[in-house]
Amino acid sequence: MATVPIDLTVNGRGRSLQVAPHHTLLDVLRDDLALTGAKECCLVGECGACTVIVDGRTVDSCLMLAVEADGALVTTIEGLAAGGRLTPIQEAFLDEGGVQCGFCIPGQVISAHALLEANPHPTRAEIEEGMAGNLCRCGCYQQIIEAILATVEAAHP
Amino acid sequence: MQPFAYARPTTLAEAFSILQAYGRDARLLAGGTDLIIRLRDGTARPTIVVDVKRIPELRPAIRKEAGRLTISATTVMSEIASDERVRRHFVALAEAAAVVGAVQIRNRATLGGNICNASPAADTAPALLVYGADIVAVGSAGTRRIPITDFFVRSGQTTLQEGELVVAIELPLPSGPTGAVHLRRTRRRGHDLASVTLACLVDANGVTRLAFGSVGPRPVLSVDSSGVLADGAADDDAKAALLEEMFASASPSPGSMRASPEYRSAMLRLLGRRAVGTAVGRLAGG
Amino acid sequence: MIGRIGASPQRVGGRGRVTGLQQYVADIQLTDVLHAKLVTLACARGRIVSIDTSAAERVPGVRLVMTAADLPQPVPRFGPQFRDRPVLAIGETKYHGEPVAAVAADTKDAAEEAARLVKVEYQELPAVFTIEAALDPAAPLVQDADLRPGDKLATTNVLREHRVGWGDVEGTLADLIVENTYEFPMVTHFAIEPHAFMAAPDGEGIAVWSSIQHPSWLQKILAGILGLPLAKVRVYAPDPGGAFGGKQHAKYEPLVALMALRAGRPVRLVLTLEETFQAVRRASARINVRTGFHADGSFAFQDIAADYLIGAYADIADRVVGKGSYPGCGPYRVPAARIIARSVLSHTTPSTAFRGFGAPQVNWAVESNIDAGALALGIDRLELRLRNLARQGEAFIPFDTPADGHWELTVRRAAELIGWGTPLPPGRGRGIGVGIKSGPTTGLSYATVRLLADGSVIVYAGTSDMGQGARTILAQIASDELGAPLDWVAVVMGDTAVVPYDQQTSASRSTVLMGNAVLNACRDIQSRLRAMAARLEGIDPAEIVVEHGVVRLPGREVPIVDVLKPGLGRLGGELIGNGEMRKEGDPGHPLGGSAAFFEFNCTAIEAEVDSQTGDIVLVRHVTVSDVGKALNPLQVRMQDEGAAVMGLGHTLMEHYIFDEAGRIRNLGAIDYRIPTSMDLPLELLSDMVENEDGPGPYGSKGMSEGALLCVSAAVAGAVREATGAVIRDLPLTPERIWRSLQERRDG
């Protein structure tokens, strides 16, 4: 099957790849780049487990073809803790108890990170709305919201 | 997902030649939030997917020109929802765009995609209907403006002709003050497909425009030019009768999983009443 | 020191979870692996006429197309309760989604294409999808009667009938009898991690990776099917990405193992979310409750008949029916009780364990019926519950463990937090529910703990940490007992070749059973330390106490490591402790054993209802559990609030919708809705009662299911008080509330 060459930057590192047009960004991240932090669950853009940041905005990587990411800057969960140091939002997820099974957490952390980049002082309602695209069946929403609020509080005491 | 080829034209002309060459075997890709689901479940089986997001003629995303706001077809919902001009002049559209999926979807889903899919539940459609939008379609034969009232046929079908591409949606700027709102019903507060989606626009002359979706094969516009609906002093029974008339064409499908026809019908009427109230209030509040 | 009992340190394993480095089964890459895809039919019950695999086999990269004919004959059947589930459908499918074949290929694309090209000729057969249809005397049998030799119910779709009772229901007089029928929907686990399985030939045996809760049980099932000794079946069980009961028992591991052995290569099968809907669900139920009250509000009797609609194969569903219905009368003093529960087979997804294990269904009915009685008697709902609530030590189920907590404290705390009895604005109402669940009736856990030469610790436990936080709790216990900081404790789980046997991770048992096993292993080490210290000091061991990380010598105390290092000497080495915890069964008991503990919860709700739309706003949701002792208070809160949110799912929005062919119409995340962050109550408050009266370490009890048990009844009670609408079907959708209010207006 014909593949298409693409160049993209993933977590700051330039990548040149040959991808099948019908493979999603999620497929390529997981299968070709071995970045398995983004998870596969619903594959219809409902659960957010595959959330990554493309050119500054969160997307469900299951609903984006890899070829569409040609030239894009992609940040996955693996790109957050540079040098092994957790970001404040990652620390807050652990401190506030936002993590149970953890399967949705890469997507949750990415969404929380992007939410705070776009809106450093979100209200609780804005957090609830901004995180609604990330399902957590362990039901840790309250702790996740608290983690985001705690991060805001720590950044702007 | 079954394999397909991929094209990323950089001019409209190039896009047309691909569409011409492949005909029905080509599918346009904008945000992909519907198409990729269909590619995966096999209900769309194109041989080529044509990505229209990098055609310069489709930018800038939103521009204000003489008497109108033009939104390019590839503008995503989050841009529309946060755009100051849209919020100022077309608040019902901003509100509708803000509830299309969760943020990850809104960062990808485009206005062009939302209307070209012609889902009866498309949330932006009622807003575009009350604002009297024109759909700007370009084909090899040239450009034509399709009034949105003539655009939707039924679920998945529009009056676009083969080889035609929607490049923009034009919204005439209101000549005077208006009040508008978008309301919907869903099964949960988090993102969901609407079981009723409705927009209402009231202008200073007392004309009320109500448009509604998810209660029939296509979104529908209904207009009260009598001024009764928007008249705070008018008789409630007269308003109820008028609303009944305006919603007469609604025919919610009995096959829906989201809600029964009876409930949808009742909620349509309720949302209609509430929307008129909100729109009138917003008009008064400036 | 961090990690001590009663503290809430960052969870063990949390770092990998927030960085994306935690590997779940689907994240593990095996070289040379084949990708498997299941082949299913477009109906529930189809007679397989023929299977043509030739086109599939021609797809480049396809290495194996497996049908029942390629399996050992007779096709092996398996199951935790009955050996009824075949590795692949034999002759006919029993539910929509049951595989008739599977393909394995070099790539996912090839596997998907080949699966599409397997041509199955089949004839759709009459099938049953509801309790009514399944119980119709003319209904087709879901299970062949010859699979149930000697079973007089074998000619019906009733798999089993469970009867429990005491006192004389017929002979007891009551001042008021309230009888109603309640329905509970079919719902699914929707773990965000879809089930994933891999298998690879491993020397003379097999290695299997699974997102399984019970690796030891899976090892036994596989050994039986493959004819291998346990030692040659190695089960890797990476921490599941959510399980909730849906990953307790073997599903496609036998198939994948047989495929790997046949292909001579590793095979992986990762289900789609849709396929998980077809693999696991909770039993729906129809429950008739007849409650007898005395005029003072005390119970005269409870008479409960519950039909649970289980699926096409039993899985653990019949145990769910028996055990879940058993405490159906609740934590109350009930002089006479009769509980009849039936597991009814149907041509649907096999139902299985799901948080609450059959108790939420009956709880919904009985707690709602208690509300109805309170209303009729004019007695406050809280007051009526308190009046009947069993006091600690009271044998409220005459032949079982007596009430093991001061439960009234839990109920009073919930009432206080919801502001019970204070004035409400119009359109609002409050509801309260009490839930109880029997803990494990049998259990066996072993643990090994190694105290290394530098004072760091490795704990080996067969528990699965599926999010409940077992790693953290077990590490905290070892940290506390052996004096190592929490980050000096490693917890090894999920590899049957490395960790000792554990019966299972279910019924909220791990803190109590595995926790005690780890505690005992630590005590084993402490006794060796005591001997070591006695030798070093030249004193009698009886003069030495080792506990909570320190060695107490006459007149002084030293950290364990100060004894360990000189005690081990120049060669170093380590101390190894083994621990065991058993909960013996009782063959004469209706459940095969008494409850190790009870999970007890009280949930109270304040809700506002829009009477025009039926929309419910949960203004406040209070959940309080009796946990004995919170070893980690934050984790207790996370479990309770998580269970509360899950309970809101089936209470407000979740249910399978079927078509006429028995297919789930809302198959997948678009039309099967679960709560999002926007669907939280405006206020979600959890609290706990701690009297250190549980059988677990430091007086703890099992917890994590309790807060789900009585959500439905509490919400429905609040809706009724707010609007007058009485709803006996879940979920409480706005449409149902609206309809009920319409009927009241019209009526």
Here the CATH number for the domain that contains residue B132 is 3.30.465.10
Looking at the complex, report in whole angstroms how far the Cα of residue B193 sits from the nearest Cα belonging to chain A: 11
User: Which one from C367, C599, C690, C705 is the annotated catalytic residue?
Assistant: C705
> Is C367 a catalytic site residue?
no
Cβ distance B104 to A45 less than 8 Å, yes or no, reads: yes
Sign of CA dihedral B108, B111, B117, B118: positive
Beta strand C457-461 pairing with C489-492: parallel
Residue with structure tokens 């408050």? C685
**pLDDT per residue as tens digits for the range B166-205:** 999 999 999 999 999 999 999 999 999 999 999 999 999 9
Work out the angle at residue C488's Cα, subtended by the Cα atoms of residues C483 and C490, and round it to the nearest 5 degrees.
Answer: 110
Length of chain C: 747
Looking at the complex, report in whole angstroms how far the Cα of residue B187 sits from the nearest Cα belonging to chain C: 7
B151 and B198, same domain (yes or no): no
Chain B, 169-228: which have a CB under 8 Å from a chain C CB? 185, 187-193
Per-chain mean pLDDT for chain B: 96
B154 and B184, same domain (yes or no): no
B89 and B129, same domain (yes or no): yes
Report phi then psi at C659, rounded to 5: -100, 180
Looking at the complex, report in whole angstroms how far the Cα of residue A133 sits from the nearest Cα belonging to chain B: 5
Domain boundary among B143, B172, B201: B172
Cβ distance A128 to C678 less than 8 Å, yes or no, reads: yes
- Asked if B50 has any chain A CB less than 8 Å from its own CB, the reply is no
**Alpha helix locations (H) across C501-608?**
513-537, 560-568
CA–CA distance, B133 with C401 (Å, rounded to integer): 71
Domains of chain C: 14-21+443-583 (3.30.365.10), 32-125+195-270 (3.90.1170.50), 284-440+589-746 (3.30.365.10)
- Asked if C86 has any chain B CB less than 8 Å from its own CB, the reply is no
Cβ distance A2 to B5 less than 8 Å, yes or no, reads: yes
B187, B196, B258, B260, best to mutate vs chain C, most C CBs in 10 Å: B187
Taking CA atoms, C538 is separated from C541, C555, C615, in Å, by 9, 15, 75
Cβ distance C676 to B189 less than 8 Å, yes or no, reads: yes
Cβ distance A137 to C242 less than 8 Å, yes or no, reads: yes
Average pLDDT over residues C523-547: 97
Looking at the complex, report in whole angstroms how far the Cα of residue A59 sits from the nearest Cα belonging to chain B: 4
Was domain A82-155 assigned CATH 1.10.150.120? Answer: yes
Q: Which residue of C lies nearest to A129 if distances are taken between CA atoms?
A: C678
Confidence of residue C3 (pLDDT cuts 50, 70, 90): low
CA–CA distance, C209 with C235 (Å, rounded to integer): 6
B191 and B226, same domain (yes or no): yes
pLDDT at A1 over 80: no
Sign of CA dihedral C357, C254, C510, A145: negative
**pLDDT per residue as tens digits for the range C24-72:** 999 999 999 999 999 999 999 999 999 999 999 999 999 999 999 999 9
Cβ distance A111 to B103 less than 8 Å, yes or no, reads: yes
pLDDT at C199 over 90: yes
Cβ distance C469 to A95 less than 8 Å, yes or no, reads: no
User: In chain C, what percentage of residues exceed pLDDT 70?
Assistant: 100
- Asked if C660 has any chain B CB less than 8 Å from its own CB, the reply is no
Span(s) in chain A for CATH 3.10.20.30 = 4-79
A39, A44, A137, best to mutate vs chain C, most C CBs in 10 Å: A137
B216 and B165, same domain (yes or no): no
Number of Cβ within 10 Å of residue B140's Cβ equals 14
Confidence of residue B286 (pLDDT cuts 50, 70, 90): confident
Cβ distance A139 to C644 less than 8 Å, yes or no, reads: yes
| Burial of residue C146 (number of CB atoms within 10 Å: 0-12, 13-18, 19+) | exposed
Sign of CA dihedral B228, B234, B240, B241: negative
CATH assignment at residue B40: 3.30.43.10
Cβ distance A62 to B36 less than 8 Å, yes or no, reads: yes
CA–CA distance, A123 with C93 (Å, rounded to integer): 52
- Beta strands, E only, C249-362: 267-270, 284-293, 299-309, 336-344
Q: Are C182 and C286 in contact (CB under 8 A)?
A: yes
B132 and B201, same domain (yes or no): no
Confidence of residue A157 (pLDDT cuts 50, 70, 90): confident
Beta strand B68-72 pairing with B134-139: unpaired
pLDDT at A120 over 60: yes
**pLDDT per residue as tens digits for the range C57-111:** 999 999 999 999 999 999 999 999 999 999 999 999 999 999 999 999 999 999 9
Span(s) in chain A for CATH 1.10.150.120 = 82-155
Taking CA atoms, C21 is separated from A102, C16, C239, C524, C700, in Å, by 10, 5, 13, 35, 32
**pLDDT per residue as tens digits for the range C243-260:** 999 999 999 999 999 999
Cβ distance A58 to B191 less than 8 Å, yes or no, reads: no
CA–CA distance, A111 with A126 (Å, rounded to integer): 12
In this complex, which of C8, C270, C676 lies closest to A135 when CB atoms are compared? C676
- Could you tell me which residues come within 8 angstroms of residue C244 by beta carbon, excluding any fewer than 6 positions away? A137, C189, C191, C354, C355, C466, C646
Ramachandran region of residue C681, left (φ > 0), alpha (ψ -120 to 50) or beta?
Answer: beta
Count how many pairs of residues, chain B against chain C, have C-beta atoms within 8 Å.
44
**pLDDT per residue as tens digits for the range B133-175:** 999 999 888 999 999 999 999 999 999 998 899 999 999 999 9
CA–CA distance, B80 with B70 (Å, rounded to integer): 11
| Tokens of residue C626, six digits | 């009796």
Average pLDDT over residues C170-193: 98
Q: Which residues in chain C touch residue B190, judged by CB atoms under 8 angstroms apart? A: 673, 675-679
CA–CA distance, C513 with B239 (Å, rounded to integer): 68
Topology of domain A4-79, CATH: Ubiquitin-like (UB roll) (3.10.20)
Cβ distance B266 to C738 less than 8 Å, yes or no, reads: yes
Looking at the complex, report in whole angstroms how far the Cα of residue C679 sits from the nearest Cα belonging to chain A: 9
B25 and B77, same domain (yes or no): no
Q: Which residues in chain A touch residue C706, judged by CB atoms under 8 angstroms apart? A: none
Chain B, 101-140: which have a CB under 8 Å from a chain C CB? 102
Q: Which residues in chain A touch residue C113, judged by CB atoms under 8 angstroms apart? A: none
In this complex, which of C666, C677, C678 lies closest to B257 when CB atoms are compared? C666
CA–CA distance, C673 with C656 (Å, rounded to integer): 10
**SS3 track for A46-78:** CCCCCEEEECCEEEEHHHCEHHHHCCCEEECHH
- Asked if B54 has any chain A CB less than 8 Å from its own CB, the reply is no
Q: Which residue of A lies nearest to C190 if distances are taken between CA atoms?
A: A137
Length of chain B: 286
Average pLDDT over residues B57-71: 92
HSE-CB at C720 with a 13 A cutoff on CA atoms is 18
A18, A22, A111, A145, best to mutate vs chain B, most B CBs in 10 Å: A22
**pLDDT per residue as tens digits for the range C543-557:** 999 999 999 999 999
* Chain A neighbors (3+ CB pairs < 8 Å): B, C
3-state DSSP assignment of residue A37: coil
* Chain B neighbors (3+ CB pairs < 8 Å): A, C
Of B267, B222, B228, B61, residue with least CA distance to B126: B222
B64 and B162, same domain (yes or no): yes
Looking at the complex, report in whole angstroms how far the Cα of residue C396 sits from the nearest Cα belonging to chain A: 32
Cis peptide before C74 (omega within 30 of 0): yes
CATH assignment at residue B256: 3.30.390.50
Cβ distance B103 to A20 less than 8 Å, yes or no, reads: no
Work out the angle at residue C394's Cα, subtended by the Cα atoms of residues C393 and C396, and round it to the nearest 5 degrees.
Answer: 135
CA–CA distance, C664 with C673 (Å, rounded to integer): 14
Looking at the complex, report in whole angstroms how far the Cα of residue A79 sits from the nearest Cα belonging to chain B: 19
Q: Which residues in chain C touch residue B267, judged by CB atoms under 8 angstroms apart? A: 613
**Structural domains counted in chain B:** 3
Question: What's the pLDDT score for residue C2?
Answer: 44
Q: Which residue of C lies nearest to A110 if distances are taken between CA atoms?
A: C18
Of C421, C735, C431, residue with least CA distance to C607: C431
Per-chain mean pLDDT for chain C: 97
Average pLDDT over residues C284-309: 98
B45 and B91, same domain (yes or no): no
Question: What's the pLDDT score for residue A156?
Answer: 82
Confidence of residue C1 (pLDDT cuts 50, 70, 90): very low
In this complex, which of C23, C270, C642 lies closest to A138 when CB atoms are compared? C642
Domain boundary among B172, B196, B218: B172
In this complex, which of C19, C20, C642 lies closest to A140 when CB atoms are compared? C642
Q: Which residue of B lies nearest to A71 if distances are taken between CA atoms?
A: B54
Question: What's the pLDDT score for residue C746?
Answer: 83
Of C518, C527, C525, residue with least CA distance to C459: C518
Cβ distance A138 to C19 less than 8 Å, yes or no, reads: no
Confidence of residue A32 (pLDDT cuts 50, 70, 90): very high
Residue with structure tokens 């008018």? B234
B120 and B185, same domain (yes or no): no
Chain A, 45-104: which have a CB under 8 Å from a chain B CB? 45-46, 48, 51, 57-60, 62-65, 67-68, 70
Of C362, C371, C372, C358, residue with least CA distance to C338: C362
Residue B45: which domain range?
5-51
- Asked if A61 has any chain C CB less than 8 Å from its own CB, the reply is no
Cβ distance C673 to B187 less than 8 Å, yes or no, reads: yes
In this complex, which of C113, C653, C666 lies closest to B188 when CB atoms are compared? C653
Cβ distance B188 to C109 less than 8 Å, yes or no, reads: no
B10 and B41, same domain (yes or no): yes
B34 and B61, same domain (yes or no): no
Domain boundary among B138, B172, B206: B172
